[in-house]
A = this chain, B = another copy of it.
């Protein structure tokens, strides 16, 4: 499943073959069908696992970080980790491109994933309005939408040039609005 997840993030749904995944793992592709009934199901399972990991991260961050600036900074760093060496992107982006090849169930999960991220970011910017840890906040919902677009697009830019530093550069202006706490 780890191998399949990485393959999807690097080559998209239509770009991966079960044969290639099986070869990377060191088994025969027919063995995959003992664990998953179809390619669709395999992708559905790994996306739900990925989605659950991110939701867990969001809950954990909201529970542990009391300041909006710290929450947002953790989000930007976490999302940047998907870029790796500029060869990969977040799975939801990769699957969204190949959306028309996916079954309706996974497409619904993709929408839910996006909406959950947007709602979390909106809450974060609303908190930022109160605690002042993020500068120049306009409408929280608009900020959340722009922030999600920025971190997604920053992954694309970094991948386009195979350089993870471009993710950091593209998000620099957003990060400069954050006054992080210094817990000692």
Q: List chain A positions with a Cβ less than 8 A from chain B.
A: 10-12, 14-15, 89, 92-94, 96-101, 110-111, 114-115, 138, 141-143, 145-146, 148-154, 156-157, 159-161, 166, 169-174, 176
Interface SS of chain A: helix
Min C-beta distance of A184 to chain B, whole Å: 29
Q: Are B15 and A172 in contact (CB under 8 A)?
A: no
Number of chain copies forming the complex: 2
Residues of B within 8 Å of A114, CB to CB, are 157, 160-161
Residues of B within 8 Å of A153, CB to CB, are 148-154, 156
Q: Are A145 and B160 in contact (CB under 8 A)?
A: no
26 A-B pairs with C-beta separation under 8 A:
A10-B100, A11-B14, A14-B15, A15-B100, A92-B160, A96-B159, A99-B159, A114-B157, A115-B161, A138-B173, A138-B176, A142-B169, A142-B170, A142-B173, A145-B157, A145-B166, A146-B154, A146-B169, A146-B174, A149-B149, A149-B154, A149-B157, A149-B171, A151-B153, A152-B152, A153-B153
